Chain A
């Protein structure tokens, strides 16, 4: 009896507390779901930089890191939606189906899914960045700076995002230097510093004097620094890890978009949309250009950056041929977003096959 009294007293206290919290929390709360740890200094790290920008704008945020792209994701999303979050950002491609499924159950919660294409319910938006525009700039620099005419490229997984990057990079490099060869090594990981370093070392040993990467750690630029070759930073400015090797970095800048969307939720102006922003909208940022690059190259890059931003130049402008010589994009045309989103063939000039 005694125990029962205590128990009911405690539970009513808990209930009271919950009700009070629910009544007080009227501010907009945003939640972020991450695939990796915030400490990866790459993909997730940059999303978390964006979250901090939301926090700095005066909103409450929470995040859950290391969420597998499985049924676990659904559980996490449901939990977040249940605990009073008004907008939830799911920051990995594999959250696409869980996001849409949970969105159906919580029509009053807004869902923002990164890099996906499914918007099955009116409360789901998608967003992504045109990183390939950044790679056009890197390709231009690589093609100009290489002396061996062999450029190494450490790739992660054979998905359209990565293939598009390789193509965009190679097209730009060929434009300034038709003799270059792009050697690609697939690391089959997004981040594993040891493996990435080994992949970069293999490319350097085989004569590459500029290394590009589509994996997330800083191991590659550090390896380039050790070996005395050039490299580019990925996702964040990696210059301090390899001051001599890093010529520039392509940064993922999610902050402005996140702040924008959370504000829209607060104002009641949030609506469903599909966002694919590039250099022009500031979602893709090019870090400072290294002074080792000749002045004329730097000014050329600056101009290219401005032209990509204004839309005067498109990364995929015809004529573009695939490896077999079939026309992919006709002269004077540019690749449309549908083609870019599903790109699974190499352009002419890329060596090797796409692994299955």
Chain B
């Protein structure tokens, strides 16, 4: 087995491709959580995005309609969550779990007619440049537009939260909804917006799976990636740039494991499957020991309902 530089480039490119849905969903959920809302429905919103994107692509034949339609579907289903948790003040955790179960069920129902239909080829950019450079060629070129967007998103999110006024408002709402409300900020409106944005990104993540990564519809095709995305937000300590790193690690585990198997090195698969969650627990333990770090990153009102006294 000769390991040449192009081979490493190919592996890194595969890892990046597998990280895309995690980055998208995590960055969306990060904004939702920064506004103080814990939405455990990521898996459900992703699968709704996956079936909506695939169904729209099959019916309309337009990839653009399909991609935006999937995001819209994510928005619509997260509206249910937003209405329940913000207007009716239901418990975030229970509502989020219900959203996941609902999403998986309804996607299976819609998807019945779309099983066994091959997807369309999604165009890739800069395909010709792929072979011009060793190592960097396959990493940088020949990917879909969603791929490039996903890798830009953590930086955009970071800029948004740190440097823009709206970003500051989101953080204020997440850290102290009472103070924000006293300053005249409509907490409910901000949280609605953040939940819907999270829904759109989860929808896009799902569409990436059903339209680009493995172009087909199969029930339950998100395969727990929504839960990994949730774990990733905690792993990143609510920092978008760290999501990028975490997604590469979490997404890369299976790929590295498969390569090792093909070379002949064995690692217990069950251990690797559990690893993202184990790492997340370790991170949780570490950050909860350091009160300063918690204060800096964890949205203080995360998961707490906000009752506005009129």
Residues of A within 8 A of B263 (CB): 206
Check A241/B261 contact, CB under 8 A, given A41-B116, A194-B209: no
Contact in complex: B266, A194 (CB < 8 Å): no
Contact in complex: A205, B10 (CB < 8 Å): yes
A109 at the interface (CB under 8 A from B): no
B108 at the interface (CB under 8 A from A): yes
Contact in complex: B214, A193 (CB < 8 Å): yes
B181 at the interface (CB under 8 A from A): no
For the complex, give the distance between the alpha carbons of A38 and B116 in Å: 11
For the complex, give the distance between the alpha carbons of A337 and B299 in Å: 62
Contact in complex: B14, A205 (CB < 8 Å): yes
Q: Which of A115-123, A129-137, A216-224, A274-282 contacts B (4 or more CB under 8 A)?
A: A216-224
For the complex, give the distance between the alpha carbons of A205 and B116 in Å: 27
Check A192/B7 contact, CB under 8 A, given A202-B259, A217-B218: no
Contact in complex: B266, A355 (CB < 8 Å): yes
Contact in complex: B261, A352 (CB < 8 Å): yes
For the complex, give the distance between the alpha carbons of A352 and B115 in Å: 35
Chain A positions 238 through 268: 1 when the CB is less than 8 Å from some CB of chain B, otherwise 0: 0011100000000000000000000000000
Contact in complex: B225, A199 (CB < 8 Å): no
B249 at the interface (CB under 8 A from A): no
Residues of B within 8 A of A194 (CB): 18, 209, 213-214, 221, 223, 225
Residues in B264-295 with C-beta less than 8 Å from chain A: 264, 266, 269-270, 273
Check A217/B219 contact, CB under 8 A, given A41-B116, A185-B262, A355-B266: no
Residues of A within 8 A of B118 (CB): 218, 222, 240-242
Check A217/B214 contact, CB under 8 A, given A39-B219, A206-B263: yes
Contact in complex: A41, B14 (CB < 8 Å): no
A111 at the interface (CB under 8 A from B): no
Q: How far is the CB of B157 from chain A (nearest CB, A)?
A: 24
Check A185/B261 contact, CB under 8 A, given A193-B214, A222-B215: yes
Taking a contact as CB atoms closer than 8 A, the residue among B7, B10, B216, B269 that contacts A355 in the complex is: B269
A160 at the interface (CB under 8 A from B): no
Contact in complex: A203, B266 (CB < 8 Å): no
Of all chain A residues, which has the CB nearest B117? A240
B254 at the interface (CB under 8 A from A): yes
Residues in B223-243 with C-beta less than 8 Å from chain A: 223, 225
Residues of B within 8 A of A242 (CB): 118
Interface size on B, residues (CB 8 A): 37
Chain A positions 172 through 199: 1 when the CB is less than 8 Å from some CB of chain B, otherwise 0: 0000000000011111100111111111
B93 at the interface (CB under 8 A from A): no
Check A205/B216 contact, CB under 8 A, given A192-B223, A194-B221, A198-B18: no
For the complex, give the distance between the alpha carbons of A41 and B269 in Å: 25
Residues in A34-79 with C-beta less than 8 Å from chain B: 36-41, 45
Contact in complex: B218, A39 (CB < 8 Å): yes
For the complex, give the distance between the alpha carbons of A191 and B217 in Å: 12
B68 at the interface (CB under 8 A from A): no
Residues of A within 8 A of B273 (CB): 188
Interface centre among A194, A206, A240, A353 (most CB of B within 10 A): A194
For the complex, give the distance between the alpha carbons of A129 and B264 in Å: 31
Residues of B within 8 A of A37 (CB): 108, 219-220
A288 at the interface (CB under 8 A from B): no
A85 at the interface (CB under 8 A from B): no
For the complex, give the distance between the alpha carbons of A291 and B194 in Å: 54
Residues of B within 8 A of A38 (CB): 112, 115
Check A39/B214 contact, CB under 8 A, given A185-B258, A198-B255, A202-B262: no
A-B contact count (CB 8 A): 107
Check A198/B258 contact, CB under 8 A, given A188-B269, A193-B221, A241-B216: yes
B111 at the interface (CB under 8 A from A): yes
Taking a contact as CB atoms closer than 8 A, the residue among B112, B214, B259 that contacts A206 in the complex is: B259
For the complex, give the distance between the alpha carbons of A202 and B152 in Å: 26
Contact in complex: A352, B264 (CB < 8 Å): yes
B11 at the interface (CB under 8 A from A): yes
Check A218/B216 contact, CB under 8 A, given A39-B112, A45-B116, A194-B18: yes
Residues of B within 8 A of A351 (CB): 264
Residues of A within 8 A of B11 (CB): 205
Check A197/B213 contact, CB under 8 A, given A202-B262, A241-B118: yes
Residues of B within 8 A of A186 (CB): 261, 269
Contact in complex: B219, A197 (CB < 8 Å): no
Check A195/B223 contact, CB under 8 A, given A205-B14, A222-B214, A240-B118: yes
Q: How far is the CB of B19 from chain A (nearest CB, A)?
A: 12
Contact in complex: A222, B254 (CB < 8 Å): no
Contact in complex: B216, A219 (CB < 8 Å): yes
Contact in complex: B108, A193 (CB < 8 Å): no
A110 at the interface (CB under 8 A from B): no
For the complex, give the distance between the alpha carbons of A241 and B10 in Å: 24
Check A205/B259 contact, CB under 8 A, given A39-B112, A186-B269, A194-B223: yes
Q: How far is the CB of A323 from chain B (nearest CB, A)?
A: 13
For the complex, give the distance between the alpha carbons of A267 and B2 in Å: 65
A113 at the interface (CB under 8 A from B): no
- B residues with a Cβ closer than 8 A to A are 1, 7, 10-11, 14, 18, 108, 111-112, 115-116, 118-119, 209, 213-221, 223, 225, 254-255, 258-259, 261-264, 266, 269-270, 273
- A residues with a Cβ closer than 8 A to B are 36-41, 45, 152, 183-188, 191-199, 201-203, 205-206, 217-219, 222-223, 236, 240-242, 351-353, 355
The contact sample of 16 A-B pairs, CB cut-off 8 A, is: A39-B217, A39-B218, A40-B115, A188-B269, A192-B223, A193-B213, A193-B214, A197-B213, A197-B214, A198-B254, A198-B258, A201-B258, A202-B255, A202-B258, A240-B118, A352-B264
